[in-house]
Structure 1
Amino acid sequence: MTLDESKLSHRFTEHDGVRLHYVEAGEGPLVVLLHGFPEMWYSWRHQIPALVEAGYRVIAPDMRGYNLSDKPKGVAAYALPELTADVAALIQASGAERAAAVVGHDWGGGVAWAFAMRYPALLERLVILNSPHPERLFSAFRTARQLRKSWYMFFFQLPKVPELAARKNDFALLRASVKNDPRRPGAMSDEDLARYIEAWSQPGALTAMINYYRALFRPGSRRGKTRPPRVDTPVLVIWGEHDRHLGAELAAPNPALVPNARVARVPDASHFVHYDRPEKVNQLLLEFLR
């Protein structure tokens, strides 16, 4: 489906001194869409119109540090307690008691997992796109195979160098990740890419985006040392099987920690499953929400 941006409202809300930008559309039960790295709200351009047509109210934020949202300084500002509190603030700002669903891809999926653990009363369902449950992810870091796939997470721990690399040649590394990773020809048009480049060009954006990864490995973060809380919320995991960054074995969460999960594997789709197979993702999402 084609996104009609004239039907979107651009709004801002402030939480703990951080101003968050989001787009809103539709009426009905609330669905919150959380984008991944290195994206922004526009990554959900195929899902927003489908959800609105199906009778849902959609909020898609630029997560803190991205695009038009504030970019607080310091790694600590991008720890999971702050990121999940932002989602709670967005739901509160919407006037809804809870979200019918929180949907997250990549880093947005990581935040969505943590949100379901910290704020279970604020969502009815959870949908995850190519983002492993934290227990699966940190266990996988013990394997050479996943360490090779996740090399960039450790590269991002360096000061300043990742920002220089990301900015080099007009954001060549970031452009390649969203333009070349998807398997469907034309999944990312030149016009789409120009919007991402505009977002990456915002002052402080690159450091803020990379600080998500830095915060994940800082002292005091969970890092798999203790067992995460159980998620009893119904969960749908949608997984593009040709993910260059995450092994397919990471898709299914531990049933002891996520007893109400279903995994839908999407063949011939990359890490950006919602770009490659938007109709399939929309079908799975709407069937799960009904």
Structure 2
Amino acid sequence: MAQQARELTHRLVPSPGGRIHLVEQGTGPLVLLLHGFPECWYSWRHQLPALAAAGYRAAAVDVRGYGRSSRPAGAAAYRMVELVADAAAVVRALGEESAVVVGHDWGSAIAANCALLEPEIFRAVGLLSVPYIPRGGSRPGAVFASLGGDEEFYITRFQREGRAEAEIEPDVRGWLAGFYAALSADTMPPPGAPDPLFVPVDGLLRERFPAGGPPGWLGEDDLDVYAGEFERTGFTGALNRYRAMDRDWEDLAAFDGAPVTRPALYIGGARDAAMSWLAAAIDAQPAVLPGLVSSHLLADCGHWVQQEAPGEVSRLLVDWLDALPR
């Protein structure tokens, strides 16, 4: 059993969009791990063995459009309802009837919608960095376009196919290193420096990335893994998630303002640059997540919480999972 818990198993399983690649470790109740942008299953490399050692079957997927998973054409294929269907298909393909789902960044939004749309399959939800924000208000594209004044928010910059790809893909490794550094506690721009998530309309995101080396959590081998995946796949599949936001707003109209009632956990980084525009959503979580068990903001931690503070995040996840009804 101890040897089995240490082994990583790669699988390709069928999904509505083609196939989903996942990496699993351990035996016990299933915990599905969903990454964000710009990452892959590897962002959960520290949690896989920790969850396995604690008696769980942990499965970290490459979300549709990333890594070794299928990359359907067109932004419509990356709507939230499609990604929730992928997650449900993974649970079934692994021979399980239910799972706990945990997500980071975009994976957090997918995880929350898994618990909202498929509560019989997803019995609890863990959210990292990005809180649950119910559908409502204006179209997301219009909201993000209104931010920044004379500058452009990065999500708006990602909307037109080919624009962000033209900046990123000539130097994938360098761009990733800079993006990770811009949102990491130990390398982010100092107070008073321009916000790395905003950029002049005729400028480049990389112009706001901090000078110097990568963050402490990102070794050269780790960066090689991420760069190798995106150099092979390109960025269009990953960026299409941003390009499907307004379609989500239409698809989920019947769930306007709907709470997620499954048992929930939130973990964020106190120094995450996104806290400036997510603070109100975090404060609102007790109302929109009535099953919220606990909420944590980790000191001296930026956006990449499960990689910047792997031990603490793993401990919080295991403590929460152990307290859930089985």
TM-score by length of 2: 0.79
Q: Secondary structure at the match of 1:28?
A: coil
Residues 30-84 of structure 1 show CA distances to partners (whole Å, capped at 9, x for unaligned) of: 0000000000000001111110000100111101100111110001000001000
Match of 1:288, as an amino acid? W
For the Cα contact (< 8 Å) 1:136–1:253, is it kept in 2?
no
**88-97 or 217-226, larger mean C-alpha shift:** 217-226
Q: Secondary structure at the match of 1:287?
A: helix
Counterparts of 1:91-130 in structure 2 under 5 Å? 91-99=91-99, 101-130=100-129
Counterparts of 1:15-164 in structure 2 under 5 Å? 15-99=15-99, 101-135=100-134, 147-148=147-148, 151-164=153-166
Q: Over the residues paired in the alignment, what is the CA RMSD in angstroms? A: 2.8
Q: 1:136 to 1:20 in 2, by over 3 A?
A: closer
State the partner residue of 1:236.
265
Counterparts of 1:163-202 in structure 2 under 5 Å? 163-184=165-186, 186-202=216-232
For the Cα contact (< 8 Å) 1:237–1:252, is it kept in 2?
no
Q: 1:19 to 1:226 in 2, by over 3 A?
A: closer
> Unpaired runs of 5+ in structure 1?
none
Q: 1:47 to 1:106 in 2, by over 3 A?
A: same
Q: Secondary structure at the match of 2:320?
A: helix
**205-214 or 13-22, larger mean C-alpha shift:** 13-22
State the partner residue of 2:204.
none
Q: 1:112 to 1:239 in 2, by over 3 A?
A: same
State the partner residue of 2:282.
251
Query: 1:263 pairs with 291, 295, 306, which one?
Result: 295
> Unpaired runs of 5+ in structure 2?
187-214
Match of 1:284, as an amino acid? L
Confirm or deny that 1:216 pairs with 2:245.
yes
Match of 2:288, as an amino acid? L
Q: 1:119 to 1:275 in 2, by over 3 A?
A: same
Q: Secondary structure at the match of 2:24?
A: strand
Q: Larger Cα Rg: Structure 1 or Structure 2? A: 2
For the Cα contact (< 8 Å) 1:23–1:41, is it kept in 2?
yes
Q: Secondary structure at the match of 2:123?
A: coil
For the Cα contact (< 8 Å) 1:34–1:103, is it kept in 2?
yes
